[in-house]
Structure 1
Amino acid sequence: MPNKTLLINRIAVSLFFFTNGFLYANWTARLPELQKYFGLNNSELGNVLFCIALGSMIAMPLAGWLGNKFGSDKVVRIVSLLFCVSIPLVAISQNEWIIRLCFLFLGAASGSMDVTMNGQAVLVERLWGKVIFSSFHAVFSIGMAIGAAIGGLFSNFQIPLQTHLTILAILGTLPIFWASTKLLKDSPITESKTFEEKGNNNKFLALKTILPFGIIAFCCMTGEGSMVDWSAIFMNKVVGQNETISAWAFGTFGVAMTIGRVFGDYFTVKLGKEKIMLIDACLAAVGLGIALAFTSIWSTFLGFFLVGLGLSTIVPIVFSSAGNLKNISPSAGISMATSIGYTGFFVGPPTIGYLAEAFGLRIGLSFVFALFILMALIIAILLGKMKSN
């Protein structure tokens, strides 16, 4: 049975995951209003969202390097507070270049927080002695579901965007301050030396080992990012519902993610990593297919629910596997996997914006559907290799 100190470590890391999901969902739930506030069409919104992708892609490898050099516990404290600061900035101005700069900062802070808090989660799981990684992502999803619901309420009561996001950002710093004092201290320098002493050949082998999981994460997180940024807009513009119901559409996805991740560790142990990922990939494809084929309010809710359930445990399994490779530090393994996976999370939504502007949002989201099929095929190949061995 884990001791009291380790339990506090687990709670502290969980608070980082919760705060990240909670704050991110609050602003994305009001994205249709932000789009009107900025006066952007789908393509222009895609350009703005690409700034999040750019900031993230620049910052994530740097965050992995810093975590490996100085310790993820030190880095996550700083980048988490920067993430809280970035939230109200998304509605601070209607000037095109200020908007892009603020979204670039948001992407950098969010991506850095993702890398370092996942590195902490790997350390806690190692000391815990059993599979618990999905539970951290369950807390993230709980934060997203609650954040989306609160975002919908603020929208319903017509609370100004800047007021809403500033209040929530201030509240978000409170758990971060407490949790920052309860993190695990890793040994980055020792682990980094062990990694580097193995030479470039082993670095190449490590990347080769992680690459299939990274591609799976890319497909999964493209879908997750698309649901985060476009589910409310899909319900609003394609299905034709008001902004409050549109925010709840994203909340449905978040609730399903939460349910899947709460039970994710149990089913991962019961069925095995590859088998549960294959089931999840098929669920996500079926769910998005339903939402795109039948654009009614209830088919959309059902489809987004199945997508959330399907995507729920794939990323936790990928990150746990990458962070527990032999002879590689958690920061190095997580950095490689997140750099591939989170590219999808941030690049996917703006890509859909460009496709939506040219061909309509249903066609734009069909790109994600194709990635879900690809993801299922890669997982099936991995499962086949396991059986042959």
Structure 2
Amino acid sequence: MSVRRARAAVSAIFFVHGAIFASWAARIPAVQDELRLPAGVLGLVLAGPGLGALVGSQAGGLLVRCLGSRTVSALAPVVLCLPLGLVPSARSAWSLMGVLLLLGAADGCTSVAMNAQAVSVQRWYGRAVINSMHAIRSIGAVAGGLAGVATTSLGMTLAVQLESMAVLLAVVSAVAARGLRPDGERARQTVRTRPSGRGTGERGPNGRLTMPLLALMTFLAALVEDAPASWSGVYLRQVGAGTAMAAAGYAAFSAGSVVTRLCDDRLVDRLGWVRLTRFGTLCCAAVLTVALLLGQPAVTLVALVVAGAGVSAVFPGVFTAAGALPDSARAMGHVGFAGNLGWLVVSPLIGGLSTVVGLPAALGLLAVAAATIAALAPVLGRGRDF
């Protein structure tokens, strides 16, 4: 089987993963209107995907360990499409919560499996390719969001839109599954023959601490990556930005991340994971600090672009390092759990801090998180062993 075909297949799974969740997110207002959910109840219901993802990431690690990344990557995205199609059938907040818990669990499982398959394909390539796959996931999210906007503009009902997307993306997943690659003998041998404490992902200060340190990096990266979605627009309005500029905050961050991820594979081959991650996250910490101190809308927008670019290599690098550990499936499950935990707590964490110290100081936590990732970068190892 062609390794290029396998890369295209995994990339398609990444695209589906991004498109499914964005398809749901784009129709949240319509679901709220249809079920007549108060804001407080909606906030509780929207915690469902995050809670489900915590369970799903752990289950994903166990399933990959037992069945292999190819099998789980083939099945999990199809299962992920099911709750998307079931959203319109929810008739109450509780039934919607149940559907979203299932969506989150399938999302977390898919994330672990597709990253494990990506690391396997990357190992066969012998060079970095995982960053571009993460970029394609972001492109899938944009496509899913735009599809929601387009179908709403055309007057398509919620049920028709989400059920159609679920069927279409399930078909894409099923076709892509034919090109996925088994965790071949060469990949398994590469992991087994690395001595303890050596190679990618095991050059931390203590081999036994590598997995928790990787999980900590993922948790911190989730804070930095997810906070702009909820708080960039609020902060921009607070410092005097107009409605349009405030709405562009998360788009600026996402654009910096996506464009840079399309280039990061070449940068990894030249610099290695450690130097690229350290440099990027230090830049992220620096620009966020300057933007928060100056409080100027234009400076903040530029800082968000640079911050998105600076943190872009962290998730791919951590999954690559986790994939080099002896029990890689378990490590990836823990990494996925930490990322989902960060995603779940970041909004209430920033909100709670802002009530005590103000929003600018609360957002300073992101600069601290980025600087801490830079300090932890040596845990990623040399970054040239795939």
TM-score normalized with structure 2 length = 0.78
Aligned to 1:172: 169
* 2:74–2:180 Cα contact (<8 Å) kept: no
1:72–1:119 Cα contact (<8 Å) kept:
yes
- Offset of 1:372 from its aligned partner? 2.4
Within 2, Cα distance between the matches of 1:171 and 1:362?
42
Partner of 1:315: 315
- Contact kept? 2:228, 2:249, Cα under 8 Å: no
Is the CA contact 2:20–2:81 (under 8 Å) kept in the aligned structure 1? yes
Query: 1:214 aligned to 2:215?
Result: yes
Residue 66 of structure 1 corresponds to 63
Partners of 2:239 and 2:297 within 8 A in 1: no
Matches within 5 A, 1:197-276: 207-228=208-229, 231=232, 249-276=249-276
Of residues 104, 109, 118 in structure 2, which corresponds to 1:107?
104
When residues 287 and 171 of structure 1 are mapped into structure 2, their CA distance, relative to the original with a 3 A threshold, is farther
1:114-151: CA deviations, max 9, x gaps?
00001111111111122222122121122233334444
- Deviation, structure 1 residue 319: 0.7
Deviations 1:287-324 (A, max 9, x none): 54466567776455434322321221111111111102
Structure 1 vs Structure 2 CA RMSD: 3.9
Moved more, 149-158 or 69-78: 149-158
One-letter amino acid matched to 2:92 = N
Partner Cα separation in structure 1 for residue 338 and residue 123 of structure 2: 23
**Other structure's SS at 1:185 match:** coil
Spell out, residue by residue over 1:261-308, the C-alpha distance to the aligned partner (whole angstroms, 9 max, x if none): 111011122222222112221233345446656777645543432232
The 1-side partners of 2:160 and 2:355 are apart by 30
Q: What residue identity is the alignment partner of 1:265?
A: D
**1:1-389 map, 5 Å:** 5-29=2-26, 38-41=37-40, 47-89=44-86, 93=90, 95-153=92-150, 162-186=159-183, 207-228=208-229, 231=232, 249-289=249-289, 298-299=298-299, 301-325=301-325, 328-352=326-350, 365-379=363-377
Query: What are the Cα deviations for residues 65-116 of structure 1, in whole angstroms up to 9, with x where unaligned?
Result: 1111112222222221122223355565473322322221121111000000
Return 5+ residue gaps in structure 1 as ranges: none
Distance apart, 1:11 and its partner CA: 0.5
Question: Counterpart amino acid of 2:335?
Answer: A
**Identical amino acids, percent of aligned pairs:** 26
Q: Gapped runs of 5+ residues in structure 2? A: 197-201
How far residue 351 of structure 1 moved from its aligned partner, in angstroms, is 3.7
Distance 1:157 1:289 in 2: 43
Amino acid at match of 2:338: I
Measured in 2, the distance between the counterparts of 1:235 and 1:151 equals 26
Distance 1:320 1:358, change over 3 A: same
The 3 A distance-change label for structure 1 pair 31 and 295 is farther
Mapped to 2, the partners of 1:372 and 1:14 lie a distance apart of: 27
Q: In structure 2, what residue type is equivalent to 1:127?
A: W
Distance 1:181 1:56 in 2: 26
Give the number of equivalent residue pairs.
368
Closer/same/farther in 2, CA of residues 179 and 217 from structure 1, 3 Å limit: same
How far is the alpha carbon of 1:367 from its aligned partner?
3.9
Tell me: CA distance 1:256–1:127, structure 2 relative to 1, closer, same or farther (3 Å): same
More divergent stretch after superposition (354-363 vs 367-376): 354-363
